[in-house]
Amino acid sequence: MTLVTPDAQSLWLFTIAALALLLVPGPAVLYIVARSIEQGRTAGLVSILGIHTATLVHVLAASLGLSAILASSAIAFSIVKYAGAAYLIWIGLKKLFSRPPEAAAVSVVAHKLSRLFRDGFIVNLLNPKTALFFFAFLPQFVDVERGHAAMQMAILGLIFTALGFITDSCYSLAASTAGRFLRGNAAYLRAERYVSGTIMIGLGLTAAFAGNPKK
């Protein structure tokens, strides 16, 4: 099958629009920053991998037209929205009531990284606004006359995912650099689990009380 892409002008406009959106910190960026400050660069990058693996799922769904179901069904929107919000709140509560960092065992680092990947994946996968965003955003740059609209949307989604990985990595690197100094501060070490937990709970509550776009 021939690879069909939008025209060059549409690709440039899409890239500029995508970068403008990605450079504005949203819930995913706040999640990455919290993880990077708390556990360092590797944790931030693993979280990014999880988040953008889920992004690829949303891209596939949008390309196949499955996002239309989510956009047209208030029940589906509510189920996914509140499931994602509950998961964020659960992560925050678990952090708040966990042991201080110095009590954690070094031998569970590998498990922690796999858990970070899983958390990032689920947080983004259960975000209905991501699905709705791709459903609303990608078709604007598809050239219907070229045909294969699903393929064009998939290509645009892959570009968006790649750009998101780059911009989110920049946020992670900056946050982890600051985290090196923060982790050397005794007061921060005592308070960091409350800060991180509060951020996660705040993100969950924000998602839970965000209005349905159809209203």
- 3 domain-assigned: no
Per the domain annotation, does 141 fall within a domain?
Answer: yes
What pLDDT does 213 receive? 43
For residues 212 and 215, what is the distance between their CA atoms, to the nearest angstrom?
Answer: 6
pLDDT grade for 1, boundaries at 50, 70 and 90? low
Query: Is 2 among the domain residues?
Result: no
- pLDDT at site 204: 76
* Digit-coded pLDDT (tens) for 95-134: 788 765 553 333 333 347 888 999 889 888 887 778 777 8
Cβ atoms of 173 and 43 closer than 8 Å: no
pLDDT reading at 159 higher than 90: yes
Taking the C-alpha atoms of residue 118 and residue 126, their distance in angstroms, rounded to an integer, is 12
67/208: higher pLDDT: 208
215 within some domain:
no
By C-alpha distance, which of 126, 56, 114, 53 is closest to 89? 126
CB atoms inside a 10 Å sphere around CB 131: 25
| Window from 48-52, 73-77, 91-95 with minimum mean pLDDT | 73-77
Give the number of domains in the chain: 1
**Length of the chain, in residues:** 215
On the 0-12 / 13-18 / 19+ scale of CB atoms within 10 A, 24 is exposed
Q: Is 18 a member of any domain?
A: no
Q: Residue 59 is encoded by which pair of tokens?
A: 């891209």
Which range marks the domain in which residue 91 is found?
Answer: 27-208
In a domain, 62, yes or no: yes
More confident residue, 1 or 194: 194
Helix axes 149-182, 27-39, angle to 10 degrees: 40
Query: How far, in Å, CA of 52 to CA of 117, rounded?
Result: 10
Looking at residue 40, which CATH number applies to its domain?
Answer: 1.20.1250
Q: How many CA atoms lie within 13 A of 141 on its CB side?
A: 29
On the 0-12 / 13-18 / 19+ scale of CB atoms within 10 A, 203 is buried
Residue 17 belongs to some domain of the structure: no
Residues 203-211 have a mean pLDDT of 67
Instruction: Confirm whether 100 is domain-assigned.
Output: yes
pLDDT tens readout for residues 135-157: 777 777 777 677 777 788 889 99
Most confident of 29-33, 146-150, 156-160: 156-160
Does residue 101 contact residue 188 with C-beta atoms inside 8 Å? Answer: no
pLDDT at 53 over 80: yes
Residue 82: per-residue pLDDT = 78
pLDDT at 51: 93
